[in-house]
Structure 1
Amino acid sequence: MTRKTFFKPALLSLAVGSAMYSTSSFSQEANTETSNDAEAQGIEVIAVSGIRGSLMRSQAVKMDNSSIVEAISAEDIGKLPDSSIAESLARLPGLAGERVGGRTSGISVRGFKEDFIGTSLNGRELIGIGDNRGVEFDLYPAEIMTGATIYKSTDATLMVQGIGGTVDLQTVRPLAAQETLTLTGTYEVGGNDSDNPEYDNKGKRFALSFVEKFADDTMGVAVSLATTESPRNERKYGVGAYNANEDGIILPTELDTQAISRELDRDTISAIFQWRPTDNWDIVLDALSIDYSDSGVIRGFIEPFSSANVTGSGVNSTGTQIESNPVLRTDPARKEGELKTFGLNLTYHVNDSWSVNVDVANSQSEKRDLRAESYSGLARSGALPPEQFGSREFTMGADGIFFNDQSGLDAFSDPAALQLTGPQSWGGGMASIADQFATDVLSANGEPFNYLNAQDGFLNYADFEEELTTARFEVAGLLDGDFFTEVTVGVNYSDRYKAKDNKGFFATASSYPYSEAIPEAYLYNGLTDLTWAGLGYVVAYDGFAPYNDGEYTLNDAGLLEPDRLGDTYTVDEEVFTLYAKLDFDSEIAGFLVTGNLGAQYVKTDQSSAGYIGVVGQNFAVCDDDSNGAIDTDCIVNEGADYSHFLPSLNISVELEENRFLRFAATKTISRARIDQMKASGFVKFGQNIDTIAIPNTEAAVEEYGSPWSKFAGNPQLRPLEANNFDLSFENYFEDEGYVSVALFYKDLVNWTRDGNELIDFTNDVTNDGANYFIPGFHTRIAPRDGTYGPADIQYAEGDLISPPDYGTFSYFEDGLEGKVKGAEVTAQVPLNMLTDILDGFGIAASATFIDAELQDGTPIQGQSDEVYSLTAYYEMNGFEIRVAATDRSEFSTYQRGGSNKIETATRSPVTQVDAQISYDFADSGIRHLEGLRVSLQGTNLTDEKEETVGESGIVTLRREFGPYYMLNLNYSFY
């Protein structure tokens, strides 16, 4: 059966010119051969650059794919307009971006966060440098990419899959690309000045890309070099929780207000060598290296919140915060990592019909995420009686707390008065080494200072390592049948290793049990601005300095904090996949029907090694004999092996010329999150006296919480699994115009469930009746007369405060089910269809609507009910202007929380507006400028904030990043 040609000539030339890489061993060769045939037949090749060219090439990829896909494409290497591939992906139909630190980093596909989508580079599985499987898309500079294809339905040859879909990033193939030498330079300016004196708001990027061919075009080399220095300045307002007092007025329990400055430094090398020694052989060698650093400072106040003389009702009130004893936290942060990946692809064409493809690759990444805490305040904890603390006037509303005035807190702007010490009693984790801090010096309440007063900082970091090795063997051939036209069979093997080492050190200043002013050598020239929160200007100093010069004595928290040891682990996975696919192409009832039918058999062997962290009677974690070594009964090794059968069917019916009805029915899996598969776990106890002072009843714990908590991972978790059904209608009416309506349904037959149960921590039935209570470690002495805890229990000075027996045991398990229903509407319309006056104007718009429901009512991470995207553009004679807006409704996600662990969060709706204006001198008639393109770009122009809203409807976390502007010069020498 001869397939009907449905491409228009311009679309054909664009599809050929893009030379998009595919996992099929035939696709690239076919593109090249088609290009040669077009030239031989004298078909006009229309070259269109800029946004219109990108839209046309992307449309051609979508139109000619047997699966339901989206695509982005640049006309050449180094020509994507964004600073990272993440920003380009976030504007596509059915996709939504998530900002991390002000940059678009995460990507959701059809409501599924990046951990639940597959990500590949040129068809190979891609690893990141994060905590889980999901790739940080802002790690990959746009300058090294030529495009991306997003598979919303899958076929049996697609090795990298996910329930949400698959994102395949693409770098150039030199023998299928034009020779070029391109230099790019970008100057960046943040719309917000830095609040911290040691940072600014200016950055720069440079990139050099070239493609060369040799030996009569049988050898090709493509190299991209990119370097980035990009600042981000952030204002953060955070709240531990909100509680209502006896009058029903809602107030925060703890405040966290910070000015954050960071700088991204990223150096990237991408190199591709391609060789065709004969017509039968095609050899491609890829190498990618990324060195990454995202470092800066988090500086501001963290403190318990107490109040009196409050007036108002509900969430709206004014009042005075009394006994204000804030901690000025100076937290220098340093996140550094590197990723290296190497791949070799060999294709041998046995004859005109059959080929063999072999692909092997190895990827390795490592990262250290370090945050050093340094505390300062009025005096060491316990040194001052409460009446010598400060006070603040405040206003409370739905957006949180704003301070109007303060007294008794002038030391925070005076380097000579501010003390380098811990003002709060946070040293409870050092109970097992209490003798180290024994002293005869008395605190303000007449008791000697002790380990509770000895924490002046904390060095917090986690090391991550990951390695992925893959090997693939595939045979593909053309068939002579009237229905089935091609068969592909193959085998794929992957071996993944990932490790996390969670480390920390308690820091105590040399002045203990006294305190001293911050050394002058530590100080920066200038103060940090917190006036935007009503907190004035505060001292700015180098938080690393007391660690570097030995001012702090460090004690390893690994055997002092159970959740450190309980979050250290390794995970191993071996996956063996057999697959087969049959392509079909036939005419049925007068309609051209194409597609494929296939299946994968996937065999998995997974395991994890880790620790269960528990504090013993000697106050040490898993060190009952106090020898400094982890007890063997704390070591855990578990795993599982299982298999899946994953069928797939893709059908495309050409209803009439350039109008298609597509249907897909597939079964897909997304492997469980790495942090959920760990063998490790821990028993944790909160040290705050108000948390300990909770009545000893199950009802009180259910209402107020508990200082006790237990957690365990599950190395036997099965992958998340879904049956997927997709239906799409696509009408291509112009070279750069189409409309499509897609419906999708996902039957989630297995999803990871969060298990929780209330247990007695003095008689743990889940651990052979273990009693975790230790007198003197889990109790507190009331330092003064007054009420304590959320139940306002009255205690006299010197009273013993004991915790409740009950707390929550949290774990993960299989078995949760759910359903996801959605619709996508997309339109790409050149406005010259309406009138020639609008030639060059166009609109690309999409809307995605999702209705998702899990059995237990929990949300899917990454899922917004509604996502909208609109891009309006004008391009003519080299001049281009583009305005893009994306809007997504509220969604659930997770983030790095305390002690380097993962925690869930809810993000408020967000609308981001970007714009770009540029001019390409290619047709200017000025010979020396014909390779130059100049553009001015702005992101987050409406200064959209990132917010997390708690159950009370009040903001618990707000991050403000401001807009960002970039001036870009791109010059192609040829």
Structure 2
Amino acid sequence: MITKQLFKPALLSLAVSSALCSGQVWSQQQDASEAENEDFEVIQVSGIRGSLIRAQAVKMDNSSIVEALSAEDIGKLPDSSIAESLARLPGLSGERVGGRTSGISVRGFKEDFTGTSLNGRELIGIGDNRGVEYDLYPAEIMTGATIYKTPDATLMVQGIGGTVDLQTVRPLAAQESLTLTGVFEQGGNDSDNPEFDNKGNRYALSFVEKFNDDTMGLALAIASTESPRNERKYGVWGYAENDDGQILPTGLDTQAISRELERDTISAIFQWRPTENLDIVVDALDIDYSDSGVIRGFIEPFAADNVEGTGVNNTGRQIGANPVLRTDPAQKDGELQTFGLNLTYYVNDDWTMEVDVADSQSSKRDLRGESYAGLARSGALSAGEFGTRQFTMSADGVFFTGSNGLGAFSDPSQLQLTGPQEWGGGMASLADMFDTNVAKANGEPYSYLNAQDGFLNYADFEEELTTAKVEFSGYVDWNIVNGVTFGARYSDRFKSKDNKGFFATASSYPLSEAIPAAYLYNGLADLTWAGLGQVVAYDGFAPYNDGEYQLNDAGLLEPDRLGDTFTVEEEVITLYAMADFATDISGFRVTGNIGAQYVQTDQSSTGYLGIVSDNLKVCDDNNDGQIDADCLIEDGDDYSHFLPSLNVSIELAENRYLRFAANKTISRARIDQMKASGFVKFDQNIELIATPNSEAAVREYGSPWSKNTGNPTLRPLEANNFDISFENYFEDEGYISVALFYKDLVNWTRDGNQLIDFTNDSTNDGANYFIPGFHDRVLDEAGNYGPLDTPYEAGELLTPPDQGFYSFFEDGLEGEVKGAELTAQVPLRMFADVLDGFGIAASATLIDAELEDGTGIPGQSDETYSVTAYYEMNGFEFRVAATDRSEYLTYQRGGSNKIEAATRDAVTQVDAQISYDFENSGIKYLEGLRISLQGTNLTDEKEETINDDGIVTLRREFGPSYLLNFNYSFY
């Protein structure tokens, strides 16, 4: 059951707005009482108009090219996370993960290549890599965000794409308040799984209080969320042509997915100003995060006959249907904690010293069980006992129109809790454990190939980041230089991944039994949308929890799993200095800054090279369940970078600016690519084993051998960046801007590939990986095998080729990114008084990116568009927002918990909100109330991946969501 809780803070004080709008270091010296007495008439408008004014002020006053969100943007929208708010900004694109916006690309660079900070401190997530999952952070705890598209030398967290700095409140600069929020959510799609529904809720409480003559302040926000997600997934293993040249899937993967997000967040900030010269801020953030549910449906090979039509216009019959009913319970649990201390000492009227220390820790377990059910254990039925299905096929994929012999999937008494397919090949080293005299339908005894009835798959992640910074800043009068900032920063980062898994075998092996009644849910799962009818729903964790499954550690059976277990450590020291300047040239006011960072890095990684030993176990020659010492790998590197930066702003006329920026930035290589680990793998496909033993044959047809490793010596991705922007601010809430940017990618990580001899590996001290009796094959029957259809007799020994490909990561790839951003924010009252309150905010980002090897940049869409139409007057507000991005490359969690590339099709998302603020209603007891109704994904946009033949290979349908928000400020 799913509930959703969302907290929205009250309207922020004018002092907070002032702090948001100030991009200058010197603004920290401004006393809170002075800030509260400033004339902020320009930004006192509430609602979306107020938020646009605030954001425009940040953009206008900053020396860098930036975008911004104000507290009004975040607080007034009942978004479940900061990600949904950021995705609407110019030059930013959101990426949905499981139906929710989680990733953010800045100028086409995925979050792993974008720096993310909280109040200027580097922020960590709970994912596989460096990128922050923005949906981890509730919008309720934030007061603003600034996105730096061009850096300056004092920006400690940078990336090639840019930097996203999230901001929380400073109590002494905020208005005292007490706010309660409740949000009720309903998904537009009903749950197809009986144990879940489509309803959720969010609740939040926040307050800001000042004490001791306003020298102490405390801000506390508590937010709790329960949110449903119901998804319909259609997928295939791939497509291939049959003998008649018709394109058909090789296997099907169709599932009804239901999940429940639970997130509890506490943000606490204490600020103390014991003297006029000292400001102390202590802050803490704690997030508990859980995303659990079930993935239930069919997965099976596909064979067809009697196919009519050509290409994708097919009708036909699937034969030999022996579906596996997969019930995969999923549980992702994470926790993130961050603590920080900031001391600002005002040495005198001109100079300030700042000391900032912080520690962040996160942990996550991403667990997915697999429990199989079907007509019978693999091998128990003869071919004539399998079922058939009728289907139609179009560019949208396969839809089933009828079936024969498969009605049992709605009747639990006819289903067996067992593995219907021979998927137990990974347990070859445990063959003796599964020896039996019980015969299959063909008279042969059951073996380990028939013994996989499920799989428990999980990965544990740990990360810690400790940072310390000392900075001095001051006013000077050195000709055109009016301010200097210099300092040093130290960071120590540790990240680990432990990739684990267990093969599961039911206690009934080699026989099978019906699904126990105690496991069953009251109701069936609905797969009629795929033509697959109603199917049995049961608790997939139950056979693991009660000991029904016997478990065998896959870490010592699958080399790629051990080869994805690792630690990565980094120590970074940054020295930096920046000078601010201002002067007049030919009557134009010119301001900006020039500076540089010197960055020294020491990085290392520890991992394992997963290799199958002679006993058919992975790195376990001694059969003691311990990893052999000679499989351990340690490596690393140290290096330095010099990163100059220049930002120039020319005021061409009143409120018209021409900005120029030039800088060098780095984004550190992906964590999963920096791992020391790797593996040697062998594909048991007999057609590959029969490949001729020659380099030419392997290059043309492939090899059963493969080797894959990370590279702990990878250098950061590096770019030289040039930006120019024209900005015309013609109204308090109106401006247009045109920005051009160019990124010269001088170092990007490339995929290396090398042909090696797997009987004498020159990259591993001449190691010989060949094991007789395991890597060769005695033929059971005569026939033509291999890519050349070579004839063989029964009993002949097939020996694989010696050579295969070694894949790794290396530095040296180059490329370029050229782009343009056009932004317009227009209040329509400019054209007619009757349109007062109406407005449009729109942006377009056009990018032409090219890497020299033809590969794409993760997160890069060629075109991204965003438009928001709004109306606000007398407390009533209405807005519709649409974002559109073209196809882009990304990566996702794949088989055995490893990262794999994926291509997402173009997506358009439409959201809308209507609200009323009772502040000026004249009803005393309702003056603190604001009510809003919001809908997201109103057009029911699907997430699709389409192959080169124009056929859908993966489709995910999430449906819209509707949220009713109540926000009450007591004062």
TM bracket, shorter-chain basis:
over 0.9
Q: Which residue number corresponds to residue 374 of structure 1? A: 371
Q: Structure 1 residues 687, 28: CA separation in 2 closer, same or farther (over 3 Å shift)?
A: farther
Distance in 1 between residues matched to 2:454 and 2:202, nearest whole Å: 35
- Does the aligned pair in 1 maintain the 2:21–2:55 contact within 8 Å? no
In structure 1, which of residues 457, 460, 482 is the aligned counterpart of residue 457 of structure 2? Answer: 460
Q: What residue number does 2:507 align with? A: 510
- Distance change in 2, residues 1:691/1:309 (3 Å): farther
Asked if structure 2 preserves the Cα contact closer than 8 Å seen for 1:326 and 1:377, the reply is yes
SS for the counterpart of 1:440 is coil
Q: How far did residue 802 of structure 1 move?
A: 6.2
8 Å contact 1:155–1:648 — kept in the other structure?
Answer: yes
**Residue of structure 2 equivalent to 1:20:** 20
1:120 alignment partner in structure 2: 117
CA contact under 8 A between 2:73 and 2:85: conserved in structure 1?
Answer: no
CA RMSD, 1 decimal: 2.2
Contact 2:714 2:811 in 1 (8 A): yes
Q: Which residue of 1 aligns with 2:7?
A: none
Q: Give the Cα separation in 1 of the matches to 2:961 and 2:230.
A: 10
* TM superposition shift of 1:758: 3.8
Q: CA deviation at 1:17?
A: 2.8
Structure 1 partner of 2:911: 914
Task: State which of 452, 467, 472 in structure 2 corresponds to 1:475.
Answer: 472
Deviations 1:379-398 (A, max 9, x none): 11111122211111122222
SS at the partner of 1:497? strand
| 1:152 aligns to 2:156 (yes or no) | no
Residues 460 and 682 of structure 1: is their aligned pair in 2 closer, same or farther, counting only changes over 3 Å?
A: same
Offset of 1:22 from its aligned partner?
A: 7.5
Shift of 1:759: 3.8
Instruction: Tell me how far 1:14 sits from its aligned partner.
Output: 6.5
Per-residue CA deviations over 1:568-588 (Å, capped at 9, x if unaligned) read 000000000000000011111
- In the alignment, is residue 664 of structure 1 matched against residue 661 of structure 2? yes
Partner SS for 1:395 = strand
Question: What does the per-residue CA deviation read over 1:869-889, in whole Å, with 9 as the maximum and x for residues that have no partner?
Answer: 000000000000100000000
Greater alpha carbon shift after TM alignment, 790-799 vs 250-259? 790-799
Taking the TM superposition and a 5 Å limit, the aligned residue runs for 1:208-223 are 208-223=205-220
Choose the corresponding residue for 1:245, options 242, 246, 252: 242
Map 1:729-768 onto structure 2 (within 5 A).
Answer: 729-768=726-765
For residue 112 of structure 1, report the CA deviation from its aligned partner.
Answer: 0.1
User: 281, 285, 292: which one pairs with 2:282?
Assistant: 285
C-alpha distance in 2 between matches for 1:690 and 1:300: 30
Residue 805 of structure 2: aligned partner: 808
Residues 207 and 220, structure 2, Cα contact 8 Å, conserved in 1: yes
Asked whether the equivalents of residues 21 and 57 of structure 2 are also in contact (C-alpha less than 8 Å), the reply is no
Q: Is the 8 A contact 1:522 1:541 kept in 2?
A: yes
Distance 1:181 1:800, change over 3 A: farther
Which shows bigger deviation, 140-149 or 250-259? Answer: 250-259
The answer to whether 1:267 aligns with 2:267 is no
The residue type paired with residue 542 of structure 1 is D
**Contact 1:638–1:715, Cα closer than 8 Å, also in 2:** yes
Map 1:45-64 → 2, pairs under 5 A: 47-64=44-61
The answer to whether the Cα contact below 8 Å between 1:873 and 1:882 also exists between their aligned partners in 2 is: yes
1:961 aligned partner? 958
* Cα offset, 1:237, TM superposition: 1.2
How far the C-alpha of 1:25 sits from its partner, in A, is 5.0
* Residue type of the alignment partner of 1:406: S
SS at match of 2:132: coil
Counterparts of residues 933-972 of structure 1 (less than 5 Å):
933-972=930-969
Q: State the match for 2:202 in structure 1.
A: 205
- Counterpart code for 1:723: N
Contact 1:80 1:146 in 2 (8 A): no
2:298 is aligned with what amino acid?
Answer: F
Task: Give the Cα–Cα distance (whole angstroms) in 1 for the partners of residues 901 and 883 of structure 2.
Answer: 24
**Aligned twin of 2:8:** none
Q: 1:5-62: per-residue Cα shift (whole Å, max 9, x none)?
A: xxxxxxxx968634229896533333847635635xxx75662111111100000000
Aligned pair count reads 960
Q: Once the 2 structures are TM-superposed, how far is the Cα of residue 337 of structure 1 from its aligned partner? A: 0.5
Show the counterpart of 2:516: 519
For residues 895-916 of structure 1, give each alpha carbon's deviation from its aligned partner in whole angstroms, at most 9, with x where no partner exists.
0000000000000000000000
- Opposite residue 38 of structure 1, the aligned amino acid is E
Residues 464 and 562 (structure 1), Cα distance of their counterparts in 2 relative to 1, 3 Å cut: same
Alignment of 1:165-244 (within 5 A): 165-244=162-241
Give the direction of change, closer, same or farther, for the CA distance of 1:242–1:732 in structure 2 (3 Å limit): same
Corresponding residue for 1:878? 875
405 and 782 in structure 1: CA distance in 2 versus 1, 3 angstrom threshold? farther
Instruction: Go from structure 1 to structure 2 and tell me whether the alpha carbon gap of 1:964 and 1:799 turns closer, same or farther (over 3 Å shift).
Output: farther
1:503/1:558 contact within 8 Å kept: yes
Quick one: structure 1 residues 723 and 31, their matched pair in 2 at CA, closer, same or farther if it must change by over 3 Å? farther
Map of 1:497-646 to 2, 5 A cutoff?
497-646=494-643
Aligned to 1:684: 681
CA distance, structure 2, for counterparts of residue 789 and residue 967 of structure 1 = 62
CA distance in 2, matches of 1:228, 1:950: 37
SS in structure 2 of the partner of residue 434 of structure 1: helix
Q: Distance in 2 between matches of 1:71 and 1:405?
A: 54
Residue aligning to 1:823: 820
Q: Which of 315, 318, 321 is matched with 1:321 structurally?
A: 318
Partners of 2:635 and 2:79 in 1: how far apart? 44
Question: Once the 2 structures are TM-superposed, how far is the Cα of residue 800 of structure 1 from its aligned partner?
Answer: 6.8
SS at match of 1:384: coil
The answer as to 2:468 corresponding to 1:493 is no
Give the partner amino acid of 2:393: M
**Residues 1:78 and 1:691: Cα distance change in structure 2 (over 3 Å):** farther
Q: Quickly say closer, same or farther: Cα 1:339–1:629, change in 2 above 3 A.
A: same
SS of equivalent to 1:313: coil
Tell me by how many angstroms 1:254 deviates.
1.8
Query: Matches of 1:702 and 1:403 in 2, distance apart?
Result: 39
Secondary structure of 2:55's match? helix
On the 8 A contact 1:21/1:170 being kept in 2, the answer is no
- TM-score, normalised to structure 2, is 0.96
Aligned twin of 2:646: 649
Distance in 1 separating the partners of 2:242 and 2:131: 42
Determine if the alignment matches structure 1 residue 716 to structure 2 residue 713: yes
Which amino acid in 1 is paired with 2:149? Answer: K
2:291 corresponds to: 294
Aligned equivalent of 2:438: 441
CA distance in 2, matches of 1:561, 1:642: 35
Helix, strand or coil: the match of 1:192? coil
Shift of 1:770: 3.5
TM-superposed deviation, 1:401: 1.5
Amino acid at match of 1:825: L
Partner of 1:777: 774
Unaligned runs of 5+ in 1: 1-12
Pick closer, same or farther for the CA change 1:777–1:377 going to 2, 3 Å: farther
Deviation at 1:843, TM superposition (A): 0.2
Paired position in structure 2 for 1:35: 35
Preserved contact between residue 15 and residue 173 of structure 2 (Cα < 8 Å): no
TM-score scaled by length of structure 1:
0.95
Counterpart CA distance in 1 for 2:967 and 2:794 is: 71
* CA positional deviation for 1:625: 2.3
TM-aligned CA deviation for residue 708 of structure 1: 3.1
For the structure 1 residues 669 and 348, does the alpha-carbon distance in structure 2 shift closer, same or farther, using more than 3 Å as the test?
same
3-state SS in 2 of match to 1:676: helix
The Cα shift of 1:317 comes to 2.0
Query: Identity over the aligned pairs, expressed in percent?
Result: 77
Does 2:895 align with 1:898?
A: yes
1:832 to 815, 829, 845: 829
| 8 Å Cα contact 2:15/2:174 also seen in 1 | no
Report the more deviating stretch, 768-777 or 937-946.
768-777
Offset, 1:937:
0.4
- The match for 1:8 is none
CA distance in structure 1 between the partners assigned to 2:766 and 2:244 by the alignment:
42
Give yes or no for contact 2:18–2:35 (8 Å, CA) kept in 1: no
